[in-house]
Amino acid sequence: MSDSDEKNRHRAVPSGRLSRLSGFGRLAGGVAGGMMAEGARRISAGERPRMQDMLLTPGNAKRLTDRLSHLRGAAMKLGQMISMDAGDVLPPELSDILARLRDNASFMPPKQLDKVLADEWGMDWRKQFRRFEPRPIAAASIGQVHRALLRDDQMLAIKVQYPGVARSIDSDVDNVAGLLRLSGLLPKELDIVPLLAAAKEQLHEEADYLREAEQMERYAAMLGSIDGFVVPELHRELTTGKVLAMSFEKGVPIESLADEPAEVRNTVFSRQLDLVARELFAFGVMQTDPNFANYRYRPETGEIVLLDFGATRDVAPEIAASYRKLVEAGLAQDRETALREAVAAGFVKQSTVDSHRQRIERMVDIIVTELASKETFDFGDRAFVPILRDEGMEIAQDRESWHVPPVETLFVQRKISGTALLGARLKAVVDLRRTVTKVLAENPAPEDEA
């Protein structure tokens, strides 16, 4: 990264309500100006401009990404969540814009960083370290991470929360949602209301670093007897509600495995699938943020390093039971039971099934066929996804069919969908049926144990 690029990424986080609202206003004004200029250009060229063409200019794409990256917090997180959750149904242009937000956060300038740490640790906070690296090793939506060396030569990763982020969550989510709705880029069939509620709930939990510290230790205990995973060790003395201190764990981005031999990719992703199944059917707790940045890989040991436990949530027994019944019906290729359990779990309304039975049954048939296959499952082959999307969009044209699944189901489904996206990125080919069957057998339902 050049010096100029480094300087451009150091931007103070707007922490006050008025300064953040002003940021959204500048974004809306900039996009509107860009639309007018593009419309005038197209008219002068003898073209009849479409609203979508005027919105999706390179300039407006840059404005949206740049402003949300500057605001950070819920503004940036919502863009990440929508791009991860709805990537298969959004227009490709909007998906690309929002996906850039995953790795495009700016850094706090040193003066603002120093103030945050002084407020949390005291004015002489630097005396606790041999070295504290001012340039973060990672910058995301809620905070940025620094590497620091203690006086006893222990290397730590220090996650520092951006100022003002916690108290701006609700208004930021509403403002970003308003911008996206006004843009006309979100398909009218896509109901993002449950996403908004989930985003607010998750973000309030993620902004509590003491809660995240508890969840990190919880995962360390659960995975203690399972090989192949590394959880950072909490440094209690330096952890506060806005600063999380933990051991620094080396690793490379997990998506970099895409260049590794198939055997490595398949082994690592099989392990990740096994973890997700155990979260749902054994642990009763799940880290529900599937962002690729939350996983690192250690080539020398083959271990997966797990990071960021802010989105960890308990899985209600009834939610786990619903997924179990759905999966078992799918494995047995019992399409009728699978459809009935999908209704019982709240994925779809019975009235929608009655009105669109042929389309619903076609979607169930595709899912069951893929899940029940005794062949290895190729996550890189997503040919069935557009079919499911098209059928779902046709059903969604009927406003009476719109339905919000239970919020807790949305959290679990987000992790499952995000894990599938990782498999697609790695082009992993795994025995999905065997992995799921093994975890179910090792963790029978309560009624099966009676």
Three-class HEC string of 262-308 = HHHHHHHHHHHHHHHHHHHHHHCEEECCCCHHHEEEECCCCEEEECC
Q: What percent of the chain has pLDDT over 70?
A: 71
**Model confidence pLDDT, tens digit, residues 208-233:** 999 999 999 999 999 988 999 999 99
Active-site pick, 85, 289, 334, 365: 289
- Residue 135, pLDDT score: 92
> Which candidate, 86, 97, 92, places its Cα nearest to that of 179?
97
pLDDT at 72 over 70: no
Looking only at the bridges linking them, the beta strands covering 303-306 and 229-230 are parallel
Domains in the chain with CATH codes: 3-105+169-184 (no CATH), 109-161+208-249 (3.30.200), 314-449 (no CATH)
More confidently predicted of 311 and 59:
311
Token pair for residue 301? 């040991």
pLDDT band per the 50, 70, 90 thresholds, residue 51: very low
| Residue of 250 and 22 predicted with greater confidence | 250
> What's the angle, vertex CA 120, arms to CA 115 and CA 126, rounded to 5?
70
Which residues make beta-bridge pairs with 285? Answer: 314
Per-residue pLDDT reduced to its tens digit, 124-158: 999 999 999 999 998 777 889 999 999 999 999 99
Q: Which residues contact 212 (CB under 8 A, 6 or more apart)?
A: 206, 244, 308, 309, 310, 312
Residue 145: DSSP 8-state: E
The confidence score (pLDDT) of residue 178 equals 72
Burial (CB count within 10 angstroms: exposed 0-12, middle 13-18, buried 19+), residue 82 = buried
154-197 pLDDT tens trace: 999 999 998 888 888 887 777 777 766 665 555 565 567 777 77
pLDDT value, residue 174 = 77
pLDDT at 403 over 80: no
Rounded to an integer, the average pLDDT of 328-355 is 89
Report pTM. Answer: 0.77
Helix, strand, coil tally for the chain in percent (to 5) = 60, 10, 30
Q: Between vectors from CA 364 to CA 362 and to CA 367, what angle results, nearest 5°?
A: 110
Is 289 known to be catalytic?
Answer: yes
Q: Say if CB 402 and CB 396 are below 8 A apart.
A: yes
Asked if 173 and 196 count as a contact pair (C-beta separation under 8 A), the reply is yes
Residue 382 confidence (pLDDT): 72
Residues 359-365, mean pLDDT to the nearest whole number: 90
Over residues 244-276, the pLDDT tens digits come to 999 999 999 999 999 999 999 999 999 999 999
Predicted confidence at residue 56, as pLDDT, reads: 46
Tokens 């009476």, residue? 400
